[in-house]
Structure 1
């Protein structure tokens, strides 16, 4: 089997993705596990609180990481271990956001990886309703999972990918991609395709008129284009409305904020004219009607609704 990749799993101290406290990695060469690595991590400054819920899940406490390496040191070690491999994780959206947010908050840049999701591969190939790591492992006869132990999770994730490839009768990533049903794993943007039901206008929440009138979202007409990495769109709309925003399904004459996900709208070379329908409509209103529309990035939205520190 000619499949090379690294499986990875992160654990976090609390509900913030930047609060990484452990990593496990399993390296595969030619369809065989050849190396493994795992260690505890001291979460980045500002994300060091260990929530009871997280401790109950992974049994890691603040005392356990007192002498653990920092995220900066750990990220460098992870980068060296992974090299140029494809990185596979079970629910890759989570692990990908841990990597990105921990790096961003720590002020380090070790680049990113080409991510694939073993959970989405399992959903596509196994037809399971529950695609949690224990259920998928059990369905494939994979034993020995110590769930939420990062080393064990990464090892089982790697075994899941190899087992799915074997069941599909393929030996390369190209062949596996060929036999995987479309819209089952990763989209062109690198994020999982959304299975969230479509939202109708009648589903939109009303703005909270009792919210802080000084908040940056209060009284704004807000719409979203693209898919959030950390939120479902319904949840994002509800959060925005809770701060007093009037949420919208499309860009209209009442739009004052357009949240752009999947890419950084403040990056050099970004052009609304080459974006989604909502982005192009925003460009039209801005240039032809002098409408004031703030272009907000996904990270800026997280900051606005309190999901990330303002310094991000």
Structure 2
């Protein structure tokens, strides 16, 4: 399996079925052989543009006027892949966008396989506090001119996977995943199976976890802490949004914390001469000491909320 296609989507709003741009980078035998990106007219009913999303990628309704719709875009995606697996950074989001756009358009979700560079990176480059694509690209010396440009992000994700393959000494995606006990994700007959590390311990529910919470959602069983301000959401609202997916929130960073969500930081509230909040400094200290704690920013948090359906 030496042929695969890196893919990245940007969305018009918080609905996963609202793709407004896509980037594709096809790799064969360790070399990039094709690149393509396009704006997309989101499916009807999913085509409003939220200020939050526009602030991230700069795409508006005006930009996608006259752009291809989802059916034409899907046809190009499937044709480019030619049955090869997809690769994406936080693939649960991007593959979820593809599936949701199909459902919003009344189209069947094509059978497909996918691997996640986020899952792979966490197994190979251990010890990082954040695995956000720009952070990872910087750590690996990968050029990422414009984060949230779908073409640039897809290319960066492709180079992350290529770096992982080179480190492993193989051009075969299947060999890399097998060595690190990572299960290839898939959509078969409308049933999704995520890309995940097979050795990951099953997270146990908290005593007060909602019995309807999906144990496969990205927040299930996690202890979450917040620092900074989240756009469009109070700290109390964010904590409330963690209940349904089966997470719990705590006010301080300790060894029990799995995930630190970092919002906008007001520099006036930092301690004198400090460059980061006390919670972020504590998280970095715990990570350096070997604790499995990850920091994500507000964009990643909202993406995970979309994946969790919360």
TM-score band, normalised by the shorter chain? 0.5 to 0.7
| Runs of 4 or more consecutive aligned structure 1 residues displaced over 4 Å after TM superposition | 184-189, 194-197, 230-237
Equivalent runs, 1:74-85 vs 2, <5 Å: 74-85=73-84
Q: Is the 8 A contact 1:44 1:71 kept in 2?
A: yes
Higher RCO structure (Cα 8 Å, ≥6 apart)? 2
Hey, what's the Cα distance between the residues in 2 that align with 1:115 and 1:14? 24
Aligned position for 1:66: 65
Distance 1:156 1:58 in 2: 16
Q: Give the corresponding residue for 2:162.
A: 162
**Contact 1:115–1:190 (Cα < 8 Å) also in 2:** no
1:242-300 Cα distance to aligned partner (Å, 9 max, x none): xxxxxxxxxxxxxxxxxxxxxxxxxxxxxxxxxxxxxxxxxxxxxxxxxxxxxxxxxxx
Mean alpha-carbon deviation: is it higher for 187-196 or for 6-15?
A: 187-196
How many pairs does the alignment contain?
223
> TM-score w.r.t. structure 1 length?
0.64
The verdict on how the C-alpha distance between 1:7 and 1:45 changes in structure 2, with shifts beyond 3 A counting, is: same
Hey, what does 1:252 align to over in structure 2?
none
CA contact (8 A) 1:117 1:185 kept: no
Aligned position for 1:46: 45
Q: Do residues 238 (structure 1) and 243 (structure 2) align?
A: yes
1:200 to 190, 194, 206: 206
Closer/same/farther in 2, CA of residues 169 and 153 from structure 1, 3 Å limit = same
TM-score by length of 2: 0.65
Q: Give the 3-state SS of the residue equivalent to 1:162 in structure 2.
A: helix
Q: What residue in structure 2 maps to residue 101 of structure 1?
A: 100
Supply the distance in 2 between the matched residues of 1:94 and 1:158 (Cα, whole angstroms): 16
Name structure 2 gaps, 5 residues minimum.
187-191, 223-239, 247-304
Larger radius of gyration: 1
> What aligned pairs does 1:197-276 form with structure 2 within 5 A after superposition?
198-201=204-207, 203-204=208-209, 222-224=211-213, 226-228=215-217, 232=220, 238-239=243-244
Measure how far apart 1:4 and its partner are.
Answer: 1.2
CA shift at 1:105, angstroms? 1.2
1:167 CA displacement: 1.4
Q: Secondary structure at the match of 1:223?
A: coil
Whether the 8 Å contact between 1:13 and 1:51 is mirrored in structure 2 is yes
Deviation at 1:3, TM superposition (A): 2.2
Q: 1:56 to 1:140 in 2, by over 3 A?
A: same
Identify the residue that residue 89 of structure 2 maps to in structure 1: 90
Judged with a 3 Å threshold, the aligned counterparts in structure 2 of structure 1 residues 15 and 123 are, in CA distance, closer, same or farther, namely same
Q: Is the 8 A contact 1:168 1:176 kept in 2?
A: yes
